[in-house]
A and B are shown apart, each in its own frame.
Chain A
Amino acid sequence: MAPADETMTDPGTPTIIEVSPDDARRVQTPDEPGTNKAHKADKLLKVTGLSTHFFTQEGVVQAVDDVTFDLGYGETLGLVGESGCGKSVTALSIARLVPDPPGRIVSGSIVFDGIDVLKLDGDEMRHLRGKEIGFIFQDPLTSLNPTLTIGYQIAESIRQHMGLSSKAASERVAELLSKVGIPRAKDRLKDYPHQFSGGMRQRVMIAIALACDPKLILADEPTTALDVTIQAQILELIQKLSDEFHTAVLMITHDLGIAAGMCDRVNVMYAGRIVETGTVDELFESPRMPYAWGLLDSLPRLDDVRGDRLRTIEGMPPLLIHPPDACRFEPRCRFSRDICRRDEPELTQRGNPLHLARCWATQPDGWIP
């Protein structure tokens, strides 16, 4: 692990944009495993003013618009919201995997472990992907190549980034497979994806994501394609392994239950923007944005009266071509007033400094105390 890290922190390759003494020192001394506490104060990932647009024939779709957040070492951050509100595009932007054309990151900065991701060239970016940033995709059934063995597909990133001999690599692959809970791992390296069930394939995807001890895992709806019991197992596995390896996780989900169970902090996204952010406890106990209320209220509850309909948020998220300069949730909001239609609220503090919300009504001088 140490030699692989040396190549990563080689002063030649990464572009260091932060010049704080902490960072400068970090570049000269290779990272030792277990010394992550040294930059506890620093953040692993800082996304500032990120805007990713898709240039389509109908117009420019502002899929992610001025998104700012950060993520500490070993922290688990949730990104929740409806479909089409920019969660996945945010994750793809961090790994620079947005399909181009039509997509492009038009502004903002992404600083990962002191490296300005947006300034890296193709080779440097490839070096980061898989090695430092692991990705778990939504659908394990289609994310594995049907013509290659499981062993090959896990070893692919190890060979790519760690330069191990093929024997050492296959030992590591077997170790990873058993770590993600696949029995008789050594015998299954030569198997093909169709010989694995959905849950086992997602375990394989997790093994691939963890293959090179990344500092960050981007988990894009990792359990959406799985049934509920397998879902729980997979989430538990992600949680266990991220604790064990001290890996930060950006957990993208539309399931508030998953966010509540796994995350330290949660960002709520709506129409390409972060509309509320806070610790899990704050967000679930005292949400300060009508959209978050709607989301929470739409969860089925154990004490629901039988026969009652599920509660929904009326309407659809807006098209993100030429969004108006107004609160984007206003058309669906029960509490909206004139100001909501005239001006877009800023993300401002609500009590706790970590708790921010984008809403006129719940601001200190707003009409909802």
Chain B
Amino acid sequence: MATVEALRPELARSKPARGLWGDAFARLRKNRLAMVGLIIVIVLFLLAIFGPIVAPYAYQAQDLKAVVANGNRPIHPGDAHHILGTDQLGRDLLSRLMDGARISMSVAIVVQLVVLLIGVPIGAIAGWFGGRIDNLLMRFTDVMYAFPDLLFIILLSVAFRETPFGKAMDGLLVVFVAIGLTIWVTVARLVRGQLLALKETEYVEAARAIGVSDAKIVTRHLLPNGIGPVIVAVTLGIPSAILAESTLAYIGIGVKAPRASWGSLIADGQRLIRSDPHLVLFPGIFIAVALISFTFLGDGLRDALDPKLKGKQ
């Protein structure tokens, strides 16, 4: 066969083999907004990991002397020792925001982990088996979907308050898991839909025809093909999880003083919003930047993982 491969082998393979993921990442890199989002997300995660180490003060440390010298008023931003100022108790706002990043990023991870661990298996089982199992699981998700989220989270955190699970991570774990339990439904439905469509494809039939087991078909053939939208949904779900935590912190569920999340910082600062707006402004900026970054990244991932969708939306 006189193909180019036989005659000029160096011409035949100028482009290296690139799989789905390599391809998607190459497309993601071309998307400037998504890359900005990705970089900020990485910075936020670094902040969450190393923030408390590099922070100028401990989050609960009080610089009472400075507050007293300021006439018992919070120190405003631009101070030599406290760049973003302090609250009324003399606690450094920058340090508290850095510690708050830890809470927000663990929300991002724990909540979405719960979502994936529950949503993907339930969706996969429902989509793969179909019929009665599908019906049963989907009615269950409908019930979960219809249950009031806030009530569910409050009930759960109250119910587990005295157990080790309720006390883990300063009582935050139970709140995170509760948030996850209220939003896994979307991912389950998404995975189910993907599997319903993909299980009819011919490569699944071909895999069956060489004797591949059901479990392997689902994990090796179907999930990698259907995981793109799930990644997008999970990334885009992070902002709502962060927001949910902030909302809960604002109404006093979850993080306990003296620790503060971005949401509880806003709740605390709100009383002084006229005289000391920085106490609300900076946490608000942090929340907004985090939400926008995750959203940009999620949008970019959607375009990268499903090039056919690009520009439509």
Contacts and interface: CB of A to CB of B under 8 A. Distances in A.
Interface of A: 95, 97, 101, 125-131, 134-135, 137, 139, 142-149, 156-157, 160-161, 181, 183-184, 187, 190-192, 195, 205, 208, 211
9 contacts: A97-B209, A101-B131, A126-B212, A130-B209, A130-B211, A135-B206, A143-B203, A149-B17, A190-B17
Nearest to B130: A101
Interface string B181-205: 0000000000000000000011101
B5 to A, nearest CB: 5
A275 B205 CA distance: 29
B211 A157 contact: yes
Interface stretch (B46-54, B93-101, B220-228, B257-265): B220-228
Nearest to A208: B210
Contacts of A139: 202
A191 B17 contact: yes
Q: Is the interface of B mostly helix, strand, loop or mixed?
A: helix
B156 to A, nearest CB: 38
Q: 3 nearest interchain CB pairs?
A: A130-B210, A135-B209, A157-B210
Kindly name the residue among A95, A127, A128, A181 whose own CB sees the greatest number of chain B CB atoms within 10 A: A95
A82 to B, nearest CB: 22
A149 B220 CA distance: 12
A95 B213 CA distance: 15
Nearest to B12: A184
Given A129-B209, A143-B202, 6 more contacts: A126-B211, A128-B211, A142-B203, A147-B20, A148-B224, A183-B6
A101 B129 CA distance: 11
B14 interface: no
A233 B19 CA distance: 29
A227 B212 CA distance: 30
A147 B225 contact: yes
B224 A147 contact: yes
Nearest to A188: B17
B273 to A, nearest CB: 52
A187 B13 contact: yes
Contacts of B211: 125-131, 157, 160-161
Given A145-B225, A148-B221, A156 B17 contact: no
Contacts of A187: 13
Interface in B49-101: none
A310 to B, nearest CB: 30
Interface of B: 1, 3, 5-6, 9, 12-13, 17-20, 131, 201-203, 205-213, 220-221, 224-225
Contact of A192 (B9, B17, B202): B17
A67 to B, nearest CB: 20
A135 B208 CA distance: 10
A189 to B, nearest CB: 10
Nearest to B22: A192
Contacts of A149: 17, 19
Contacts of A190: 17
A161 B209 CA distance: 13
A149 B22 CA distance: 13
Contacts of B209: 95, 97, 129-130, 134-135, 137
A95 B212 CA distance: 13
B207 A126 contact: no
Contacts of A101: 131
Kindly name the residue among A137, A156, A195, A205 whose own CB sees the greatest number of chain B CB atoms within 10 A: A156
Nearest to A132: B211
Nearest to B16: A190
B207 A145 contact: yes
A145 B203 contact: yes
B15 to A, nearest CB: 9
Contacts of B210: 129-130, 134-135, 156-157, 160, 208, 211
Contacts of A181: 1
Kindly name the residue among B12, B13, B203, B221 whose own CB sees the greatest number of chain A CB atoms within 10 A: B203
B201 A195 contact: no
Contact of A97 (B3, B205, B225): B205
